[in-house]
Structure 1
């Protein structure tokens, strides 16, 4: 290439880069009819001189692995330039092509209907607006790296906005995002929420409470700060300048969704003054805050940069979510909110629940991670027989791995060291990890080959050796059902308008083998009317394993009498006891794992 050609190329590249840098995107959000659950969105694109531009809305929200088709809530789409209407057409389920005719500035207007209460979907009424950004904002196709501004015009009487976005100096309720990944990762609360602040690990934290409640702000400031500091202690740094908790308090609220420097939590407004309810809230805080490191920064390689048009598959959600479920226990005990015994009991219960899930013998936790998009959020009556939650099984795998590492190193190392090392490596490489890289780090920290462990518990469906692993930490775990003959049908039921229907049947149970069906209406057992949970009826509990009972059902309007031979329950009932005579090694392992 000649010098002249090279100079020409440099000039062209410079012009292209300058043109791209001059493209600006801004949003204005207003609320003309909040009582009808609508937000009005005006999107302005300037400096993009083209014949047409495609604008898209994400089909899913990072952290919630289900295609939710947010564009289904969009209506009234229109585009203008210099006051003149522009032609547009729908070119994909979530994309609109605007024929801009090389206009320097175009305005796109649309409405978003928002009436789904959850931490991952937008909700608007006369009292407030919660904007889950992936379901509100569109982006120019191929330009996710563009910065944008967002101006919020609160409805009359609303005075506050809470978000993790950076405020624009001197402009009320106006914020900026360095790129669309950040915008889509920044929910916005608008209304009259109760706001309080605390500082922990050198970071200012804002808590925005919507919906009222019997919470004590001063107590929460102290206790939430403890969780922040315990999480920061594991990683040696808190990567945020500021952090926002958006808390929605309902009669019965639950769930959370993590974001880069914020989270959305669902809570029960009147449960804060009871230990169980208060600790339940703090447990949720611990889970979502731990995501600040695990998932938002320490992440599987498939989870970023995101494809907002399609599913983003990974086999490692058992680490991303399951380990976070495990660490919420560790943060709670380290912060002093639960005792060592309570923490052990919770971990034993976690193992018990996975052990008693028939699907855990069918689906590995790696498969569960990959299939999250089609299975976890779309359960049916047979899901318990065919699937396992990567949250639940991942928590157990995290526990087993932690115990194995601590045991192999005589309490010198734990899973904490693996997570910190992987976090530091991710920062250095500026990318996520592969499954092989995570396994390699576990082996490096522990000095132990984990090939068999991965084959059995990550990629396989082996039964959990709970007694062996808990014994590493001086915890004796026994199965209280062992050696007992407990008659068992294997039926789950639900009551609808006073009638009892079969809602699920356990694989290989008596009901499964002898032909009871889901949706059968349960009438009687050996002539005794069924009024509640069938497996706890005296007509069942008074029998012996091997006895035959006659169950009367109505199936599609036809009465059927089904003879069922009772089996012994396959379920375990685990109980854990901390050994007062534990060895020094066992004590060291328990300390490394819990503290």
Structure 2
């Protein structure tokens, strides 16, 4: 078998979620909503719309992350964002100020801020995002702006995969309907890397927990099945350490 060069992203979700206080529930009335499309994937671009709703009056901030879960170096993901356009919920253009290289400040909004921007993604190492005509591999902190004041609110995202390239979606985010997914808060959203491609998919169960294995690669189905059996074996061996987890594994592999 030809050698494998692997880039793995493990996405783990604990079934027993931390309870939120009633005070937090009463104050979480906003939402962050995204769409992402890949018309210009050939030039490593994604077009993103972020809609932040339920913002309090006065100054509001949104920003790009500077680092990524499991990685401690500063990356300044805002350097790959351009064509930023900001409006309110009625379509009125809003002026922004930049207190630092990774943040935007807006005043005089109507409780809703809509941000359209282009992402350049051509460094698919697991920390950054990668977009081309073979796939879109999205590390969320490297891809999506967020409003810090809405971090405890719902996050919704509609992916628009390239139908002409037979792209499908592999993610641990909760399926809402169609190509729309959700997360309960910012932390879960940012820790949910997503693979959109013409990948292969296999599933199995460990102690009643379903594990989905998505593989984007240039090999054959037989090679995928052989590798899948090795992954299954490792998953069974790690049961004492994983506990009660739902696990999704996405792998980008070049044969």
TM-score by length of 2: 0.83
Structure-1 separation of matches of 2:148 and 2:233: 43
Matched, 1:95 2:99: no
Give 3-state SS (helix, strand or coil) of 1:175's partner.
Answer: strand
Structure-2 separation of matches of 1:88 and 1:223: 51
Q: 2:78 aligns with which of 71, 80, 100?
A: 71
**Which residue number corresponds to residue 200 of structure 2?**
194
Structure-1 separation of matches of 2:181 and 2:205: 22
**Which residue number corresponds to residue 8 of structure 2?**
none
Give 3-state SS (helix, strand or coil) of 1:115's partner.
Answer: coil
Higher helix proportion, which one? 1
Matched, 1:180 2:180: no
Alignment of 1:34-433 (within 5 A): 34-81=41-88, 82-99=90-107, 101-157=108-164, 158-168=166-176, 171-214=177-220, 216-234=223-241, 237-240=243-246, 243-250=247-254, 269=255
Cα offset, 1:105, TM superposition: 2.3
Higher strand proportion, which one? 2
Return the index of the structure with the highest Cα Rg. 1
Structure-2 separation of matches of 1:17 and 1:194: 39
Structure-2 separation of matches of 1:77 and 1:137: 12
Cα offset, 1:98, TM superposition: 1.9
Contact 2:124 2:137 (C-alpha < 8 Å) held by counterparts = no
Deviations 1:539-578 (A, max 9, x none): xxxxxxxxxxxxxxxxxxxxxxxxxxxxxxxxxxxxxxxx
Structure-2 separation of matches of 1:238 and 1:226: 18
Contact 1:198 1:221 (C-alpha < 8 Å) held by counterparts = no
Structure-1 separation of matches of 2:190 and 2:253: 23
Structure-1 separation of matches of 2:142 and 2:114: 19
Cα offset, 1:28, TM superposition: 0.7
Give 3-state SS (helix, strand or coil) of 2:234's partner.
Answer: helix
Structure-1 separation of matches of 2:184 and 2:59: 24
Cα offset, 1:91, TM superposition: 1.5
| Closer/same/farther in 2, CA of residues 17 and 223 from structure 1, 3 Å limit | closer
Structure-2 separation of matches of 1:218 and 1:156: 25
Deviations 1:6-34 (A, max 9, x none): xxxxxxxx99964x322111111111211
Contact 1:199 1:225 (C-alpha < 8 Å) held by counterparts = no
Instruction: Please tell me the root mean square deviation across aligned C-alpha atoms, in Å.
Output: 2.1
Structure-1 separation of matches of 2:162 and 2:229: 33
Structure-2 separation of matches of 1:43 and 1:149: 10
Deviations 1:102-160 (A, max 9, x none): 40322111111000131221010112111111111122124322221111011242330
Deviations 1:29-55 (A, max 9, x none): 111211111111111111213123100
Deviations 1:394-426 (A, max 9, x none): xxxxxxxxxxxxxxxxxxxxxxxxxxxxxxxxx
For structure 2, the residue ranges without an aligned partner over 5 or more in a row are 1-21
TM-score by length of 1: 0.37
Structure-2 separation of matches of 1:204 and 1:93: 41
Contact 2:30 2:150 (C-alpha < 8 Å) held by counterparts = no
Give 3-state SS (helix, strand or coil) of 2:203's partner.
Answer: strand
Cα offset, 1:234, TM superposition: 4.4
**Which residue number corresponds to residue 464 of structure 1?**
none
**Which residue number corresponds to residue 9 of structure 1?**
none
Structure-2 separation of matches of 1:104 and 1:115: 34
| Closer/same/farther in 2, CA of residues 112 and 26 from structure 1, 3 Å limit | same
**Number of aligned residues:** 231
Contact 2:213 2:250 (C-alpha < 8 Å) held by counterparts = yes
**Which residue number corresponds to residue 32 of structure 2?**
25
Deviations 1:149-173 (A, max 9, x none): 11101124233000111111xx211
Structure-2 separation of matches of 1:245 and 1:16: 32
Cα offset, 1:196, TM superposition: 1.8
Cα offset, 1:200, TM superposition: 2.2
Structure-2 separation of matches of 1:38 and 1:57: 17
